[in-house]
Chain A
Amino acid sequence: MEKLLLLGDEAIAQGAIDGGMSGIYAYPGTPSTEIMEFVHGSKIAEELNIHRLWSTNEKTAMESALGMSYAGKRSMVCFKHVGLNVAADAFVNASITGVNGGVIVVSADDPSMHSSQNEQDSRFYAKFTLIPILEPSNQQEAYDMAYYGFELSEMLNVPVMLRITTRLAHSRAGVQRKDMKKQNQLRLPSDPRQFVLLPAIARKNYKKLLGMQPAMEVESEKSPFNQYIDGANKKLGIIAAGLAFNYLMENYDNGKNPNPILKLSQYPLPEKQVAKLYNECDSILVLEDGAPLIEEMLKGFLNLGKPIHGRLDGAVPRDGELNPNIVAKALGMEIHEGQDVPDVVKNRPPSLCQGCGHSDVFLALNEVLLEYGAGRVFSDIGCYTLAALPPYNSINSCVDMGASITMAIGAADAGLVPAVSVIGDSTFTHSGMTGLLDAVNKNSPITVIISDNSTTGMTGGQTSAAHGRIYDICKGIGVDPEHLKILTPLKKNHEENVKILREELSYNGLSVLIPTRECIQTFARRKRSEKGESNE
């Protein structure tokens, strides 16, 4: 079969399609978004009618995937690492229910926080839920793991985590496809109570999960993704997990490694291989693109064994993503960098697009807030978060999706009145609606601005779950229609918008304002595609 040039994300999507997936469930988030988008563009997925609509958030995605698994079919869930926090309740309990059809959970980590609030390492979640992790070192493995992961999940009766990081997600290389597998038939679980987690059943299921651990280890020992590569110099043995393996090999001319290497891409850790490396070598260097998970396990709390080097002893920086240079330094190699960046080069932070509706919202808000003083705007995550930067300097918080409304409630409870929250349409339906119900129930003295650009802008313009229905949702949740208003954020409406904002901020209760104007990027794309279609 032909070789395809695919991003790591796309390789996962293709592998899952070829591996017999019946449905993919996801909420966008860099660096995971392109997995679902690839399935959207895939002709085969269309022909096979693979379920492929965006979910409202990561938890609904995880649960829907589990439902598909219950019905016997293979499903994949995709999100960025912080999405796993949102999905965590379902994710953790899915290891207790087990699966019927295979489930792969793709969690895309973002070490160095290129587009994220933190750099949490998803492997910890998989470790404490006692399920296997697949961590590809290249695009081909990403494909192979998605292809093979469903079977592994069905064999071990647990969801399998496929953990990637930004660099692999967004890097392209050639990928060899395999023959397509058939999708599973609709088939109920053989035990009708498998998914009923009443305490008595959950206790039984949990013991089963614990009993499965040796089988998971056996799979890791014989996994083609884990590889013991011998080397003559036993002073140092190297464990290279996932992508770290490539950075390591980059430093060896002609691919010849002087030290023994354990290439690690399937967990739980293969105990025999790790022990072999430990016993044969005087010391160990652990290279992992994320937190020091393996390193901590080997080192132990009291660090009584052989020297273990890595992020904890400074051989590798404690935070941030790996690269070939960091690995070279850890190996004690010399690096010949090019010239320094000249002083004339300035930072170029991202910014709101020229003419973005969010900017009109912040210009109006800034003007009204002059009367109340700064420090009272709780924002959320989306393009509008860029208003934290000059020239707006408008917002005072960005924590997690949905936190704008609820943090404003708490601050108002503490006496910061009025408090303002700014949230986007996609974030509002993701996890702002429940917070708004809290505000309605207490009639909190806050002004909620739902800046509705009819899209999920920050991640590239995916459909927004409640497109055109934000007003009705707010009304349904119980916002007083007197204080529920739609604005049009345009320069020419500035005075009018300032007036409305001023009125609502002075109201001692809950107001919801919905500035509504389409993102100019999605608008332009829509126009282009409409034009393109009419030419054909």
Chain B
Amino acid sequence: MKSDIILGGVGGQGILSIAAAIGLAALKNNLHLKQSEVHGMSQRGGDVQSHLRISSKPIASDLIPKGKADLIISVEPMEGLRYLPFLSNDGWLVTNITPFNNITDYPNIDDIMKQIKAFPNHIAIDADTIAKAAGSSRSSNIVMLGAASPFIDIPYEKLEEGIRQLFGKKGEELVNTNLKALKAGREFTEKNR
């Protein structure tokens, strides 16, 4: 099996917690993993990406070649579109629809949505609202992970274990909120794909 995933967002939005949860789940499945992150300058409110590669075979490159990604998970609608050159023809674009507007020329959201909808394999989800309903607006990243989970070749239970491990130190309540967020995201995709 192989999943090549690009995570996109804005510096400070915490895309790395999504990567960490998938990473922990992959390790539990004895899979190979490489995950390239962006640190430094762009973390200051610039666009950030992470390339996450999981495979049952050893992985060569830390970067995903263009046209080879199976999945883009974006916590911001414009940012997901930035990585389209990486997505394979039958790959999925899973994106949050809440804009993060910290630039003066941020485009009209309708124009962004039009582009997202033009892409055949897409899931556009209001992760912020769903996260709030699940108990905490701060778990919108995990809602995104849940929404993307049907496209990741890892058993759902392993993702749950990853979440338990990631948030375990911070208490049972937070674990449960995030498990709920994960489930809510997954259910959205199952209904809307």
Contact = CB atoms under 8 A, between A and B. Distances in A.
Interface of A: 5, 7, 30-31, 33-34, 114-115, 167-168, 170-174, 243, 246-251, 255, 323-325, 328, 335-342, 344-353, 383, 386, 390-391, 458-460
A339 B84 contact: yes
B81 A344 contact: yes
Interface string B10-34: 1100000000000100010000111
Nearest to B69: A338
B187 interface: no
For the complex of A and B, the 9 pairs showing the least CB-CB separation, nearest first, are A30-B40, A115-B40, A350-B46, A250-B61, A350-B44, A171-B36, A171-B62, A249-B60, A115-B41
B155 interface: no
A340 B86 CA distance: 9
Nearest to B87: A338
B35 A346 contact: no
B106 A346 contact: yes
Contacts of A174: 27, 32-33
Nearest to A386: B44
Interface stretch (B97-105, B126-134, B142-150, B174-182): B97-105
Interface centre among A246, A255, A345, A386 (most CB of B within 10 A): A345
Given A168-B62, A350-B45, 4 more contacts: A31-B39, A173-B59, A324-B65, A325-B66
A338 to B, nearest CB: 4
18 contacts: A30-B41, A33-B39, A167-B62, A171-B37, A172-B34, A324-B64, A337-B67, A338-B84, A344-B107, A344-B112, A344-B115, A346-B78, A346-B105, A349-B103, A350-B42, A350-B46, A458-B40, A459-B40
B39 A351 contact: no
B107 A172 contact: no
A352 B102 CA distance: 11
A247 B84 contact: no
Interface of B: 10-11, 23, 27, 32-47, 51, 58-67, 69, 78-79, 81-82, 84-89, 91, 102-107, 111-112, 115, 119
Contacts of B89: 338
Contacts of B36: 167, 170-172
Contacts of A351: 44-46, 102
A47 B119 CA distance: 54
A351 B42 CA distance: 8
B60 A246 contact: yes
A338 B81 CA distance: 11
A536 to B, nearest CB: 11
B40 A345 contact: no
Nearest to B39: A170
Interface centre among A339, A383, A390 (most CB of B within 10 A): A339
A351 to B, nearest CB: 5
Interface centre among B39, B46, B86 (most CB of A within 10 A): B39
B150 to A, nearest CB: 20
A98 to B, nearest CB: 35
Contacts of A255: 58, 60
A30 B33 CA distance: 23
B172 to A, nearest CB: 14
Interface centre among A115, A248, A251, A391 (most CB of B within 10 A): A115
A379 B45 CA distance: 21
A459 B105 CA distance: 27
A183 B81 CA distance: 51
A342 B93 CA distance: 14
A173 B34 contact: yes
A323 B49 CA distance: 15
B34 A324 contact: no
B109 to A, nearest CB: 10
Contact of A323 (B32, B63, B105, B106): B63
A114 B40 contact: yes
Contacts of A33: 39
Nearest to A458: B41
A202 to B, nearest CB: 38
A463 B44 CA distance: 19
Contacts of A5: 23, 27, 33
A324 B43 CA distance: 24
A348 B46 contact: yes
Contacts of B65: 250-251, 323-325, 328, 335
Given A115-B40, A459-B40, A250 B67 contact: no
Contacts of A335: 65-67
Nearest to B24: A5
B40 A31 contact: yes
Nearest to B78: A345
B129 to A, nearest CB: 23
Nearest to B170: A532
A169 B89 CA distance: 31
Given A114-B38, A249-B60, A351-B44, A344 B67 contact: no
Contacts of A341: 81-82, 84-85
B33 A173 contact: yes
A346 B58 CA distance: 36
Given A30-B39, A114-B41, A350-B45, A339 B33 contact: no
Contacts of A339: 84-85, 87, 119
Contact of B88 (A34, A328, A338, A348): A338
A351 B46 CA distance: 7
Given A115-B40, A172-B37, A344 B63 contact: no
A352 B78 CA distance: 21
A251 B38 CA distance: 24
A349 B106 CA distance: 12
Contacts of A170: 36-39
Contacts of A347: 47, 103
Interface centre among A7, A30, A248, A250 (most CB of B within 10 A): A250
Contacts of B42: 114-115, 350
Contacts of B51: 171
Contacts of A34: 39
A473 B79 CA distance: 45
B87 A167 contact: no
A330 to B, nearest CB: 13
B76 to A, nearest CB: 9
A394 to B, nearest CB: 16
A60 B86 CA distance: 43
B91 A338 contact: yes
